[in-house]
Structure 1
């Protein structure tokens, strides 16, 4: 009896996992096509009931968070091969930007939702925790990549470098370079690397000046 119950639970878990993945894959496809679907619209596109979709994703924030996690998952597993910070940043952007640009629509959806929630919080002075989109993956990645700088400058200055690089390592740069300057993907990547080099160089100059 216990064996049958265990097998049944495993089958149910597999079914749930497949259903959840179907919803995520459908949402990614819609986002990458330029849509900004609700949970209901994703359910319809996946040919599932609205109730089923909401069991997995009770809010649009939960759906977008899952989509971003899925699209950025390979990047989160990345580890640098270089030991010098500038080379590590270049290595990271070479790996991450093509993957991020492949799912640009999904990342733009996260930005759109974040801006919408900001406007709502300004109007309502609050937004439910379950509905709030929390974004912070880039912090841990940049802390890891810039770790060698701790031997070159105070932590306060390293933190400033991380904050500056967070303006480059993220989808926000896509909006500026593509929407305003109409750059191609490779140009966006090249500009990101150029800015990152300037940030590292300036930090080192500041550290040398402070030490002299």
Structure 2
């Protein structure tokens, strides 16, 4: 069985080369381009022959340019206990990330919609985990509420897909769209809480 090129000798150098190609692709995407492997190689100062050893086609390159955010939580170090306040903090940070990485996320969405896409970049589910983290106190106060289902519902009304619709279709500015995304999250939380009674000791 053949061994992938990047897994053979000089691992650190190859990791740097791959990183340079990915960063070049991200820069070109941010500038509004739809970079090919050759264009990313030129921008990174790497030969096209070498670039193709890492990325055999444009799809592989653009998929690799999807932002990799390692944070497991978007809450601050000492978050509030109130779920609504926690959710607003997470949605503010999530929306900022969406706007900061908008060109790359738009490309990832396009790749996800292509026929035959085997590992669409947007199916990682990290945002759902961030939202669930914000809603954690509800596990104690509202045990009958399905936190994961609520997080999925909130994610479905936020993120790059909703941003694109609000800006490209509804014609909102990015500031207006960002506020709408946060409002949608708050509205879904309020609706869920309205349908589920808290524990007896939690009622005012």
Fold in common (TM above 0.5)? yes
Partner of 1:113: 111
Alpha-carbon RMSD across the aligned residues, in angstroms, is: 2.6
Partner of 1:151: 140
1:100 deviates by: 2.2
Partner of 1:4: none
1:133 aligns with 2:110: no
Q: Could you give the per-residue CA deviations for residues 69-108 of structure 1, whole angstroms, max 9, x where no partner exists?
A: 34x34x5563342222211121012223223212211000
Q: Could you give the per-residue CA deviations for residues 45-69 of structure 1, whole angstroms, max 9, x where no partner exists?
A: 3232333223333454543343223
| Higher share of residues assigned helix | 1
Residues 175 and 146 of structure 1: CA distance in aligned 2, closer, same or farther (over 3 Å): same
Structure 2 counterparts to residues 21-100 of structure 1, below 5 A:
21-70=19-68, 72-73=69-70, 76=72, 78-80=74-76, 81-100=79-98
Partner of 1:3: none
Higher relative contact order (CA 8 A, sep 6+): 1
Unaligned runs of 5+ in 1: 1-8, 122-126
**Which of 192, 198, 201 matches 1:203?**
192
In the comparison of the two structures, how many residue pairs are matched? 187
Residues 153 and 55 of structure 1: CA distance in aligned 2, closer, same or farther (over 3 Å): farther
Cα distance in 2 for residues equivalent to 1:40 and 1:51: 9
Unaligned runs of 5+ in 2: 1-8
CA contact (8 A) 1:157 1:203 kept: no
Post-superposition, which runs of at least 4 consecutive aligned residues in structure 1 deviate over 6 A?
none
